[in-house]
Amino acid sequence: MPRVSRRADVRSTAARLFREHGYSSATMDLIADTVGLNKGTLYHYYSSKSAILYELLSDQLDTTITLLGKVPDEGTPTERFRELVRLEVAQAAGASDELVVFFQELPWVERNLPAEQASDVLRRVEKYRNFSQKLLKEGIAAGEFRPVNVSVVHYSIVGVLAYIPNWFRPRSGRGKNAVVEELTEFVLAGILKPQD
């Protein structure tokens, strides 16, 4: 009978430990001990701690880039930006350790990952940032959004998204759909040009 892979256990355990202790402090020894493997077996699944981190960050970016593809090409800037924010909030409200680790460790990606992997992560982050800011600029040009600083608004929205997994629990009595709609409208209210 083939041996059952523990790779998913290693990954989820590492994500939890990175969240709780920070990437630098969560050693491979700690991951191995927590998941119940010897260190040699752990290296069978991941060649290094940075390999785990890269996979976690990369998968979050893949999910985000997929979301960008779901934003309609047609429609007003307001409609399109509302859909982008709605998709992002829904994703963040369904995530936990891995998304927290993404936002927690992204500022140090160039220190913690090999140069090629760090560049790949940052290139995809830039793709997302450009998409978001382009939509904001289109909304301003169309007269639908106030003349906001698109960089400030973009990073403010990222801040909202980054914190959702820290407080939102579906069992808290607030349904996910209600939170998605409320936060989406909250974000849009901050940028929409008041109607005369």
Residue 14 lies in a domain: yes
CB 100 within 8 A of CB 166: yes
Q: Are residues 43 and 78 in the same domain?
A: no
Considering the chain, what percentage of its residues have pLDDT values greater than 70?
A: 95
9 with 100, same domain: the answer is no
pLDDT bucket at 2, cuts 50 / 70 / 90: very low
In a domain, 195, yes or no: no
Residue type, 190: G
Q: Is 18 among the domain residues?
A: yes
The answer to whether residues 35 and 76 belong to one domain is: no
Categorise residue 95: left if φ over 0, alpha if ψ from -120 to 50, beta otherwise: beta
**77, two tokens:** 């800037």
What CATH number has the domain bearing residue 2?
Answer: 1.10.10.60
What's the structural domain count of the chain?
2
For 21, the domain range is 1-47
Q: Based on the domain organization, do 60 and 43 belong to the same domain? A: no
For 35-55, letters b (16+ CB in 10 Å) and e give: bebeeeebeebbeebebbbbb
Give the pLDDT band (50/70/90) at residue 194.
confident
Residue 1: its pLDDT value, please? 40
Cα(35)–Cα(31) distance, integer angstroms? 6
What mean pLDDT value characterizes the chain?
Answer: 91
- The closest of 94, 100, 97, 88 to 64, measured between CA atoms, is 88
Does 35 map to a domain?
A: yes
User: Predicted confidence band at 196 (pLDDT cuts at 50, 70, 90)?
Assistant: low
The answer to whether position 194 is within a domain reads no
Q: Does one domain contain both 12 and 75?
A: no
- Asked whether residue 112 falls in the same domain as residue 169, the answer is yes
- Residue 163 CA, chain-centre distance (Å), reads 10
> What's the confidence (pLDDT) of residue 195?
76
- Going from the C-alpha of 145 to that of each of 9, 35, 87, 106, the distances in angstroms are 45, 49, 20, 29
**For the purposes of burial, counting CB atoms within 10 Å of the CB of 145, is it exposed (0-12), middle (13-18) or buried (19 or more)?**
buried
User: Average pLDDT in the 117-139 region?
Assistant: 97
39 neighbors 50 (Cβ within 8 angstroms): no
pLDDT band of 3, cuts 50, 70, 90: low
Q: Are 61 and 132 in a shared domain? A: yes
Residue 34 shares a structural domain with residue 109 = no
Are residue 88 and residue 179 in the same domain, yes or no?
A: yes
133 compared with 195, residue with greater pLDDT: 133
pLDDT at 85: 96
- Same-domain pairing of 76 and 14: no
Residue with tokens 């940028």: 191
Range of lowest pLDDT (89-93, 120-124, 143-147): 89-93
For 155, the 3-state DSSP assignment is helix
Average pLDDT on 138-163 reads: 94
- Does 127 reside within a domain? yes
What's the first-to-final CA gap in the chain, in angstroms? 72
Stretch 9-35: mean pLDDT: 95
Q: Are residues 35 and 115 both part of a single domain?
A: no
Q: Mean pLDDT over residues 16-44, rounded?
A: 93
Mean pLDDT of 101-106: 94
Amino acid at the residue 14? A
User: What would the mean pLDDT of 61-73 be, rounded to a whole number?
Assistant: 95
Residue 110 sits in a domain whose CATH number is: 1.10.357.10
174 pLDDT band, cuts 50/70/90, is low
Q: Can you tell me the mean pLDDT for 84-94?
A: 92
Residues 25 and 81 in one domain: no
95 within domain boundaries: yes
